[in-house]
């Protein structure tokens, strides 16, 4: 299916092997790393198509790995795997250039779809139609209510629902409802897509 090499970084051996098995079953060539340092020691990543890294690791977090790869000039697309409590860090990682972040637990199709998108994007995700896509996103943003925009700003700033709720004087459950509504209006299938499209308008 793909000649690109996918580098999987996770200190959890069972999780690492499970993900590698999933990707190999989908015909991807996989190189596994038990730590971010192992990946960094392998630089330059000849033939690399994508890096998939966990967020929470003992010696170096996924976010720190992203920053180090950026500092070394490595432009390989990166997918971040994150637990629910890591969402603020995952949003920060998106700002640092991560192609996607996937919340645990995730389905096989979610990972394969994200990987295919990252590989299609290549080292630089900007495409000729980017300006048109940005215009569409801006049009969708205009359909949001003031409260939905406030919730969106909190989400993109990496704030947990509880913090957004406290700042807006509403309940966390109400925040979830607003978030669901704005995701529908923005045509975002998941939180990563919502953050990605919103950040695209801020960079433009």
Asked whether the domain spanning 130-203 has the same topology as the one spanning 5-121, the reply is no
pLDDT > 70? residue 127: no
Q: What is the pLDDT of residues 163-188, one digit of tens each?
A: 999 999 999 999 999 999 998 999 98
Q: What is the pLDDT of residues 45-64, one digit of tens each?
A: 776 789 999 999 998 999 99
pLDDT > 80? residue 91: yes
pLDDT-derived band of residue 1, with 50, 70 and 90 as boundaries?
very low
Any idea which architecture 130-203 has in CATH? Orthogonal Bundle (1.10)
d(CA 7, CA 52): 6
pTM (predicted TM-score) = 0.74
The CATH class, in words, for 5-121 is: alpha beta
Q: What is the pLDDT of residues 10-40, one digit of tens each?
A: 999 999 999 999 999 999 999 999 999 999 9
For the chain, what are the domain ranges?
5-121, 130-203
Residues 21, 50 contacting (CB under 8 angstroms): no
pLDDT-derived band of residue 97, with 50, 70 and 90 as boundaries?
confident
Name the region of 47 (left: φ>0; alpha: ψ -120 to 50; beta: rest): left
């Amino acid at each position: 299916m793909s000649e690109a090499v996918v580098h999987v970084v996770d200190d959890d051996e069972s999780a690492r092997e499970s993900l590698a098995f999933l990707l190999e079953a989908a015909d991807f060539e996989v190189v596994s790393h038990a730590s971010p340092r192992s990946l960094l020691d392998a630089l330059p990543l000849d033939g690399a198509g994508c890096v998939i890294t966990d967020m929470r690791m003992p010696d170096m977090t996924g976010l720190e790995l992203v920053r180090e790869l950026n500092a070394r000039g490595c432009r390989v697309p990166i997918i971040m795997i994150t637990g629910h409590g890591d969402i603020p860090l995952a949003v920060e990682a998106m700002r640092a250039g991560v192609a996607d972040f996937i919340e645990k637990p995730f389905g096989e199709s979610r990972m394969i779809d994200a990987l295919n998108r990252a590989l299609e994007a290549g080292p630089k995700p900007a495409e000729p139609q980017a300006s048109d896509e940005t215009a569409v996103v801006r049009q969708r943003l205009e359909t949001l209510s003031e409260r939905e925009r406030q919730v969106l700003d909190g989400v993109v700033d990496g704030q947990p629902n509880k913090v957004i709720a406290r700042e807006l004087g509403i309940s966390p459950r109400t925040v979830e409802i607003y978030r669901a509504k704005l995701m529908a209006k923005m045509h975002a299938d998941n939180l990563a897509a919502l953050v990605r499209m919103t950040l695209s308008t801020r960079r433009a």
